[in-house]
A and B are shown apart, each in its own frame.
Chain A
């Protein structure tokens, strides 16, 4: 029996100890009308159990069906090289099959890893403190919004200024999570020729607000003038929530140093730090803040302290904020963090170090610039915004983007993200990381050019037919 160690004799003896005749008798307190027997239900959607070999065959077939295409999509999920040792170590049973470190003495491994994770995230973001992680970048942004409303009592406002060049799906997630608490999200436009936040529209805001969200880079890959934006928000009595990419922060100014006083809260998606794409999860959100806001942080936090002998050790701390102590008065209902992903991210940052992370970031920028210059020579590819980008950029085409992506998929390319539904006709968001070779950039450019000319000629034929 899979994963059940009992022999028939043991079962008989155990039942004898308990004083019942059968296992079924142990369920005799459950009202009879509620009993069911899944095992006997051959019409069930649940198949009979299969051997490991049979399951491996099925999963291998399905994995091969999806293949290993060349990926140029980003939009919050980024392909990076993951050192082999990251998951070899992260999936050691002692990390993989441990629980939340409630018994600190028996969990010093996990606790020290989390302390190191918090320190690395704080260092990358220029913040004083970080928590032990959140579910993902999108729900992390929602937690940052809730936190800013709790923290900014002076503003007496539940308004959040949300730029439209924050990921559309992030905005939806924030809306889902905060809408029942009376918080409103005020959309801020971007400059149509630049793609960056429209400072003039922002300055017309006269009502008080709890916080301004600043994405860096923004959803289009552009670099915002974070210093101006931060100082403006602070002058108005608002807090600043920085939403950042952790790899980009190897080269870009840390939110803690934005403007005169720095951002107050920093959140982001930690997936680029050694977490596989795996269809969008499990990922890892991170959140960090200034020391004075630490008691408003949601989720687990690990602190260093001493034991009875004065020896250094680690433990969960500030638990008085949390649901298992404060129940209905907790800062959040969050119980778990993303422990395994935090372990992998810590390993990733340790293997690469400051120098390695900067090289990864620089290679992303270099490859992106190379692809931009290659695409500039493709007829009818246009760049609607300025090209101050990190590792993503937008192009506009004169054909339907879904058809372009389909044509690229036929050549085993994930060609990018169609952002037309949210931002206007025929816009494609493309991402290039350090994983791409010169050959792959050429392959993408040529395949795109071919697809465009083919689609254009077929559209012309179709239009011709309609007209005649």
Chain B
């Protein structure tokens, strides 16, 4: 391979470029530091010198530009990371969200100076309500996990409000995202896991056995993390509701059904959406996300504040004064507004046809890629099922016969310039790849990915060690994770 995948040269740490005698340029104000400090109380002042890198502007620009070139990203590489919806983040969303009136607004600016941003947020609330079939939306959760937390906290608040306090359990499928059980515990609940059957559906008999007066609710993703639609969802909803529990929808996979199925119609009482997935806001190397909530009528009074209301003339903030049963505030203001604006802009650009098209083409791409890989001889985890926007391939045969596991395939894919699919999740499928191509990839790119997979399998047959030692074309080879955890080096300035 001669093609350079990403920048490979080692880059110094910014601290190693520093000289304490170098002075910053026009970026800092001109002020006499020691004269100012004389006016501050002695006890409060810093005694030791502050250590931060002193590097000139151009050298900082080069350093971080070079670091950026060591990343895979959607803008540079196909990134079929299952469950993460790595689709194109339109540039217009970024540019327009940074308009001065929007990016410079202080959160406590007077309402008369806030009608523009409030109009955007109000419209977004309505569009999300419509797209999900829920009764009301609160935009404030700052990530999917915080949306989950708020949703389960609302389920708890609802039961407590009804003096229904014996409910102590949340049911979670064994294939669920790790955030689901972690969230239930944060809200003071015990977690009950239920198994999945061979078809990827929830085991209804097992569910029946654990539902009871102690059931506070169930957390589900649909399509599930197995990449298939839970067909008995209405039955499950009826069973849970009959027992007095509520249904929580993890919106991680909303991209699969946007405009096609509304979670509200499936019987869910509360949902969170990952705007950094379905509404294409940037993943930013791991955040910020945005995890708005939608609720059915019965959970409306418990929504977190603030929200935006409109009386036909003026927009205003809805606070705990109007929403006294609210579970409260989740952030100092109203969550990740700069991200919410990007989602709003994306929603305007797509419109209702564009939203339905998201699910159409995400599903088309996934089923096409599944078929091509199946035809090439790869084993599909649920071959009898339609793929949703993603699907699972199991490399157990390759692992057994060739000794090359899913991790080896993943690492070798990097050498070919493909970000690896999600590996080893969900845990119940051995040696799995969870593959999500998204709607924004072209057929040519999907075909090229299939070719790469075939080539890698050929390599596995002929040169298994090649896979075991991959990657070769990246800035580093496989890293020593054990050393990383045992001999912690987390801070340049503090070496134990």
Beta-carbon contact of B88 and A115 below 8 Å:
no
Q: Report the Cα distance A13→B368, complex, angstroms.
A: 10
Residues A89 and B442 in contact in the complex (CB < 8 Å), given A305-B479, A354-B49, A354-B50: no
Stretch with Cβ within 8 A of B (4 or more), from A203-211, A318-326, A440-448, A455-463: A318-326
Q: Which of A55, A281, A409 contacts B113 (CB 8 A)?
A: A409
Q: Which of A29, A224, A332 contacts B231 (CB 8 A)?
A: A29
Q: Report the Cα distance A316→B71, complex, angstroms.
A: 15
Beta-carbon contact of A29 and B36 below 8 Å:
no
Stretch with Cβ within 8 A of A (4 or more), from B203-211, B261-269, B396-404: B261-269
Stretch with Cβ within 8 A of A (4 or more), from B241-249, B292-300, B350-358, B453-461: B350-358
Q: Which of A15, A269, A281, A330 contacts B334 (CB 8 A)?
A: A281
Q: Report the Cα distance A36→B55, complex, angstroms.
A: 57
Beta-carbon contact of B371 and A99 below 8 Å:
no
Q: Report the Cα distance A59→B93, complex, angstroms.
A: 10
Closest Cβ–Cβ distance, residue B110 to chain A (whole Å): 4
Beta-carbon contact of B143 and A307 below 8 Å:
no
Beta-carbon contact of A337 and B286 below 8 Å:
yes
Residues A341 and B43 in contact in the complex (CB < 8 Å), given A4-B439, A69-B109: no
Q: How large is the interface on A (under 10, 10 to 19, 20 to 34, 35 or more residues)?
A: 35 or more
A residues 374-420 in Cβ contact with B at 8 Å: 388, 390, 405-406, 408-410, 414, 417
Query: What are some 12 contacts across the A-B interface (CB < 8 A)?
Result: A31-B231, A34-B261, A38-B259, A65-B116, A102-B422, A112-B13, A123-B50, A139-B330, A252-B46, A257-B46, A304-B484, A306-B480
Residues of A within 8 A of B490 (CB): 115, 118, 122, 129-130, 294, 301-304, 317
Beta-carbon contact of B33 and A359 below 8 Å:
yes
Residues of B within 8 A of A66 (CB): 101-102, 105, 109, 113-117
Q: Check if A452 is an interface residue, CB within 8 A of chain B.
A: no
CB-based nearest B residue for A224? B44
Q: Which of A39, A294, A405 contacts B352 (CB 8 A)?
A: A39
Q: Report the Cα distance A302→B31, complex, angstroms.
A: 36
Beta-carbon contact of B43 and A336 below 8 Å:
no
Among A139, A350, A356, find the residue whose CB has the most chain B CB atoms closer than 10 A.
A350
Beta-carbon contact of B179 and A38 below 8 Å:
no
Beta-carbon contact of B65 and A92 below 8 Å:
yes
Q: Which of B75, B120, B439, B441 contacts A97 (CB 8 A)?
A: B75
Q: Report the Cα distance A107→B100, complex, angstroms.
A: 32
Beta-carbon contact of A333 and B285 below 8 Å:
no
Q: Report the Cα distance A383→B28, complex, angstroms.
A: 30
Residues of A within 8 A of B10 (CB): 311-312
Chain B 56-77, CB-CB to A under 8 Å as 1, else 0, gives 0100110111011111111111
CB-based nearest A residue for B72? A106
Residues A303 and B52 in contact in the complex (CB < 8 Å), given A58-B348, A63-B102, A313-B475: no
A residues 263-296 in Cβ contact with B at 8 Å: 269, 276-284, 291, 294
Residues of A within 8 A of B351 (CB): 46-50
Beta-carbon contact of A46 and B352 below 8 Å:
yes
Residues of B within 8 A of A77 (CB): 106-108, 332-333
Residues of B within 8 A of A133 (CB): 287
Chain B at the A interface: mostly helix, strand, loop or mixed? loop
A residues 104-123 in Cβ contact with B at 8 Å: 104-110, 112-116, 118-120, 122-123
Beta-carbon contact of A108 and B332 below 8 Å:
no
Q: Check if A1 is an interface residue, CB within 8 A of chain B.
A: yes
CB-based nearest B residue for A88? B61
Beta-carbon contact of A180 and B156 below 8 Å:
yes
Q: Check if B483 is an interface residue, CB within 8 A of chain A.
A: yes
B residues 314-360 in Cβ contact with A at 8 Å: 327-339, 341, 345, 347-357, 360
Residues of B within 8 A of A365 (CB): 36, 39-40
Residues of B within 8 A of A109 (CB): 67-71
Q: Report the Cα distance A120→B96, complex, angstroms.
A: 31
Q: Check if A148 is an interface residue, CB within 8 A of chain B.
A: no
Beta-carbon contact of B142 and A118 below 8 Å:
no
Q: Report the Cα distance A37→B356, complex, angstroms.
A: 7
Residues A129 and B41 in contact in the complex (CB < 8 Å), given A89-B64, A359-B30: no
Q: How large is the interface on B (under 10, 10 to 19, 20 to 34, 35 or more residues)?
A: 35 or more
Residues of A within 8 A of B347 (CB): 46
Q: Check if A172 is an interface residue, CB within 8 A of chain B.
A: yes
Q: Check if A466 is an interface residue, CB within 8 A of chain B.
A: no
Q: Check if B271 is an interface residue, CB within 8 A of chain A.
A: no
Among B36, B44, B87, B347, find the residue whose CB has the most chain A CB atoms closer than 10 A.
B44
Beta-carbon contact of B338 and A282 below 8 Å:
yes
Q: Which of B31, B327, B475, B494 contacts A176 (CB 8 A)?
A: B327
Q: Which of A104, A106, A358 contacts B33 (CB 8 A)?
A: A358
Closest Cβ–Cβ distance, residue B366 to chain A (whole Å): 9
Q: Report the Cα distance A414→B112, complex, angstroms.
A: 11
Residues A67 and B337 in contact in the complex (CB < 8 Å), given A37-B259, A304-B489, A308-B477: no
Q: Check if B270 is an interface residue, CB within 8 A of chain A.
A: no
Beta-carbon contact of B349 and A52 below 8 Å:
yes
Residues of A within 8 A of B149 (CB): 177, 333
Stretch with Cβ within 8 A of B (4 or more), from A20-28, A149-157, A234-242: A20-28
Chain B 461-496, CB-CB to A under 8 Å as 1, else 0, gives 000000001010011111111011101111111101
Q: Check if B309 is an interface residue, CB within 8 A of chain A.
A: no
Q: Which of B439, B477, B492 contacts A307 (CB 8 A)?
A: B477
Cβ-closest 6 pairs across A and B: A280-B333, A93-B75, A49-B351, A340-B284, A63-B101, A280-B107
Residues of A within 8 A of B186 (CB): 177, 180-181, 332-333
Beta-carbon contact of B476 and A104 below 8 Å:
yes
Beta-carbon contact of B266 and A52 below 8 Å:
no
Q: Check if B377 is an interface residue, CB within 8 A of chain A.
A: no
Q: Report the Cα distance A337→B337, complex, angstroms.
A: 16
A residues 186-243 in Cβ contact with B at 8 Å: 216, 223-227
Given contacts A136-B142, A278-B337, 14 further A-B contacts (CB under 8 A): A6-B442, A10-B443, A34-B262, A36-B265, A58-B348, A85-B61, A89-B61, A103-B72, A110-B71, A138-B332, A279-B334, A308-B477, A317-B481, A320-B485
Q: Check if A449 is an interface residue, CB within 8 A of chain B.
A: no
Beta-carbon contact of B285 and A135 below 8 Å:
no
Q: Which of A30, A48, A93, A284 contacts B353 (CB 8 A)?
A: A48
Q: Which of A13, A59, A352 contacts B99 (CB 8 A)?
A: A59
Residues of B within 8 A of A58 (CB): 348
Residues of A within 8 A of B350 (CB): 2-3, 49
Q: Check if B104 is an interface residue, CB within 8 A of chain A.
A: yes
Beta-carbon contact of B113 and A69 below 8 Å:
yes
Residues of A within 8 A of B1 (CB): none
Residues of B within 8 A of A68 (CB): 100-101, 104
Q: Check if A422 is an interface residue, CB within 8 A of chain B.
A: no
Q: Check if B92 is an interface residue, CB within 8 A of chain A.
A: yes
Q: Report the Cα distance A14→B446, complex, angstroms.
A: 11
Q: Report the Cα distance A116→B88, complex, angstroms.
A: 28
Residues of B within 8 A of A216 (CB): 44
Residues A5 and B442 in contact in the complex (CB < 8 Å), given A223-B40, A317-B484, A366-B31: yes
